[in-house]
A and B are shown apart, each in its own frame.
Chain A
């Protein structure tokens, strides 16, 4: 792909990136940061490709190092973001009908709603 085509993609992505997060509640700042952090762990793809193309022992060692680091970023990033977001689960307005998980919380809220 030509350099100019890549530049096109870059510029358009900048605008998309600005647009998607233009309005975020302060409560979600930390999870959003963490989620974005996980996304750039996709450098793992780059680490895999270069490690697959080098042959000297030193270069392979560096490639292994990069692959491990990138995996930690990618996998750990998504898992930790999910843990942060767990606190948003189940506390908000369960449906007035029977809730799937009969937690104490859901039962209490359900009774009030009925």
Chain B
């Protein structure tokens, strides 16, 4: 139905686009995130409704029933999914978006296909169509592979096919040739060939990526899909698609880099590392394995939204004289309803009871200091363990590595908790001089620096929340 004037449509699209900007802005902060997401959903609904009232559309029955079917599939799936399976669901949703963009572009191409000579504007459209078809199908197929990896339908290890490199280079060359073909001829069949090449390329790109790096790839493909939507908006002369797609493309690119940086990886390393025979293929060179480090703000947010936090103090706390800082942190967290306890290993520090004395000096209530046997069963229900300057007393090598100097020593089972945050000065091993596997665990976050310094910064960030 065409009931809205062109100006009204443009203004409503502008409102929807602003909603998307506010949504992304809101999603960047913990307090505003949920509201931001709702604003985004509102903008999307406005955009879709506006579209129905701005154009004369045929096939309305088909369109409406498609939307009903799509919603009927998506809502229950999104509601029922387990928290642990969310990344693959996001991958799947991203993939179908890319697929939709590619098909939309192909349909636009079919509308142009009968034309014998193209105007300048139509040439521009053909270029955008070629881009959308190619990148959309890369995103579709690539997301499919990430989904399979995360769902463990296939191996999560990097898969390097024989001749993967020449194959990838050949694929890129073929994609370029077919894109030029679409631009020059404007034929539908060339577009379909381009789509098939894109699907193959998507699979080839993601297969060599290791399981731990897959979230970074999802974010990258998400940015890709955003750009295809923007190109789709260019073809359809639709400003809402153009703005929304570009926003996602740009913010997705930044986010991909942030994620890679937080995991100590580079984006090109993630994508091509295995092809170069590099790190993701699973070598065991211990010293430069990737760890996840974070800033004081991240740690503050983690603590603020936890139900239960256990502090594991060690020698580093004593060296840095950080007992007053940790006490203050405990008070702030408790005032916000977070349960805080201390897990004291018998040999934490350099003498038995070192920690108890130190913490008593800072007026930490006695009842919150728990001995090892008392605290170990509690880690299973703990959200965040904050390891302050301790290492060997939480090192799983004591249980798993018969040759290790500390083998057989009882340890604090901090790996049972949801998240572990290490405050450490460096990656240097602890007193016993052995590597701590826990530092490389996916649930571990490291905050480097002097314990007192780090705690003070976390405290400042926490108070600002």
Contacts and interface: CB of A to CB of B under 8 A. Distances in A.
A46 to B, nearest CB: 5
A98 interface: no
B24 to A, nearest CB: 5
A81 B444 CA distance: 24
Given A27-B301, A38-B44, A41-B93, A10 B103 contact: no
A87 B305 CA distance: 8
Interface string B218-253: 110010011011101110111111111111111111
A50 B108 contact: yes
A112 B335 contact: yes
Contacts of B71: 71, 75
Interface string B8-21: 00000000100011
Contacts of A6: 233-234, 237, 239, 242
B104 interface: yes
Contacts of A71: 66-67, 69-71, 74
A60 B137 CA distance: 20
B247 A39 contact: yes
Which of B52, B78, B215 is most buried by chain A, counting CB atoms within 10 A of its CB? B78
Interface string B305-316: 111000000000
A45 B240 CA distance: 9
B193 to A, nearest CB: 16
A91 B70 contact: no
Interface residues on B, range: 35 or more
Contacts of A29: 215, 219, 255, 258-259, 262
Given A16-B247, A30-B87, A80-B89, A67 B334 contact: no
Main secondary structure of the interface of B (DSSP, over half): helix
B100 A62 contact: no
B321 interface: no
A34 B28 contact: no
A78 B392 CA distance: 44
Nearest to A65: B103
Contact of B44 (A21, A39, A84): A39
Contacts of A87: 305
A37 B94 contact: yes
Contact of B121 (A3, A16, A25): A3
B27 A31 contact: yes
Given A39-B244, A40-B248, A70-B70, A48 B52 contact: yes
Interface string A35-73: 111111111111111111111000110111111111111
A61 B336 CA distance: 55
Contacts of A36: 24, 27, 222, 226, 247-248, 251-252, 255
B236 A26 contact: no
Given A21-B255, A43-B100, A80-B90, A88 B33 contact: yes
B57 A48 contact: yes
Contacts of A55: 58
A97 interface: no
Contacts of B38: 82
B241 A43 contact: yes
Contact of A25 (B232, B301, B337): B301
Interface string B22-36: 011101111101101
B111 interface: yes
Interface in A75-114: 75-89, 91-94, 105-106, 108-109, 112-113
Given A17-B24, A45-B238, A82 B34 contact: yes
A9 B238 CA distance: 11
Given A23-B28, A51-B63, A66 B103 contact: yes
Nearest to A80: B78
A52 B96 contact: no
B20 A14 contact: no
13 contacts: A3-B234, A17-B254, A32-B255, A39-B20, A42-B48, A43-B241, A45-B51, A48-B63, A52-B58, A55-B58, A76-B74, A92-B30, A92-B31
List the 7 shortest-distance A-B pairs measured between CB atoms, nearest first.
Answer: A71-B70, A17-B250, A109-B337, A52-B57, A76-B74, A73-B97, A13-B246
Interface of B: 16, 20-21, 23-25, 27-31, 33-34, 36-38, 40-41, 44, 47-48, 51-52, 55-60, 62-63, 66-67, 69-71, 73-75, 77-79, 81, 83, 86-87, 89-90, 93-94, 96-97, 99-101, 103-104, 106-108, 110-111, 121, 124, 215, 218-219, 222, 225-226, 228-230, 232-234, 236-255, 258-259, 262, 292, 294, 297-298, 301-302, 304-307, 334-337, 445, 465
Interface of A: 1, 3, 6, 9-10, 13-18, 20-55, 59-60, 62-89, 91-94, 105-106, 108-109, 112-113
